[in-house]
């Protein structure tokens, strides 16, 4: 089975992303792979120094996997520790993934910028859908969850298929700005409503091609009030 892949760095934002990734894995009945990358940032280094950094990276990944195993209901959790750039590794893992999940920011001011660049790079170049987890509070559970919102006015089939799948899995309505009668006929259990632009969405979905062409991906990933899925 193709796993859900989570980019994990131990920050609060990646813990938030872990919650979302576990939810996806449980709903889809898929395994979860926690991926953590590390690299020596100061040029040439003694092997002892690098070994210390690797040990710290192993601890971060172990802690995340341990949390995942103790909070999930039967999800098969594995780990991937990589020496090198995180963005490149996540794109590589996306070849065989059903979905990649990343947080929007990292631990410190510097790592927030790095994690943001990782999210943008993975969203633009992955070979599967990518969800960048944003928004306040614990995710994905919410007291009054909003709809799944498709941003594209003329979304392609891959975007709509993903949107309807999420709506079915989460038992939420789907909001869009155009007629989806043919899709509703194929997914009769999904309630579709007209998007107004003011919905408190549970998840916003945009096509990868349109996001890149319109230059809106960076803005969405930085300012959206909820998780954003980039698909296609």
pLDDT tens-place string over residues 87-124: 999 999 999 999 999 998 643 343 444 445 888 889 98
Of 133, 165, 185, the last residue of a domain is 133
Structure confidence at residue 13 as a pLDDT band (50, 70, 90): confident
**Three-state secondary-structure class, residue 145:** coil
Q: Where in the sequence is the domain holding 216, given as residue range(s)?
A: 148-231
CB-based contacts of 75: which residues, under 8 Å, 6+ apart? 22, 25, 26, 31, 32, 68, 69
83-112: b (≥16 Cβ within 10 Å) or e:
eeebbebbbbbbeebbbbbbbbbbbeeebb
According to the model, what pLDDT value does residue 105 have? 64
- pLDDT band at 142, cuts 50/70/90? low
Residue 128 and residue 94 in contact, taking contact as beta carbons nearer than 8 Å: yes
- Burial (0-12, 13-18, 19+ Cβ within 10 Å), 171: exposed
Residues 155 and 101 in one domain: no
The answer to whether residue 218 sits within a structural domain is yes
Helix (H) or strand (E) holding 192: strand 192-194
pLDDT at 22 over 50: yes
| Nearest alpha carbon to residue 128 among 103, 85, 89, 158 | 158
Please indicate, yes or no, if residue 140 is contained in any of the structural domains: no
Return contacts of 46-54, CB within 8 angstroms, 24+ apart: 54/81, 54/83
**Which DSSP symbol is given to 229?**
E
pLDDT tens profile 26-83: 999 999 999 999 987 776 767 777 888 899 999 999 999 999 999 998 899 999 999 9
pLDDT in tens, 143-198: 788 999 998 888 889 999 999 999 999 999 999 988 888 999 999 889 999 887 76
108 and 8 within one domain? yes
Task: Write the CATH number for 37.
Answer: 3.40.50.620
């Amino acid at each position: 089975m193709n796993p859900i892949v989570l980019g994990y760095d131990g920050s609060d934002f990646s813990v938030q992303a872990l919650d979302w990734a576990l939810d996806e894995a449980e709903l889809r009945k898929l395994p979860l792979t926690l991926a953590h990358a590390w690299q020596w940032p100061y040029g040439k280094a003694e092997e002892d120094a690098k070994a210390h950094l690797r040990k710290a990276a192993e601890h971060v990944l172990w802690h995340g996997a341990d949390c995942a195993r103790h909070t999930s209901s039967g999800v098969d959790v594995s780990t991937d520790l990589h020496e090198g750039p995180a963005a490149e590794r996540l794109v590589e893992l996306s070849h065989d993934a059903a979905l990649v999940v990343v947080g929007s920011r990292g631990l410190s001011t510097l790592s927030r910028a790095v994690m943001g660049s990782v999210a943008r790079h993975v969203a633009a170049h992955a070979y599967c859908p990518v969800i960048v987890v944003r928004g306040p509070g614990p995710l994905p559970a919410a007291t009054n969850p909003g709809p799944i919102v498709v941003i594209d006015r003329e979304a392609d089939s891959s975007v709509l298929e993903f949107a309807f799948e999420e709506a079915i899995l989460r038992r939420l309505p789907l909001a869009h700005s155009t007629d989806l009668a043919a899709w509703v006929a194929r997914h009769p259990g999904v309630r579709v409503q007209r998007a107004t632009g003011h919905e408190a969405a549970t998840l916003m979905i945009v096509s990868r091609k349109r996001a890149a062409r319109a230059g809106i991906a960076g803005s969405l990933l930085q300012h959206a009030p909820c998780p954003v899925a980039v698909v296609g």
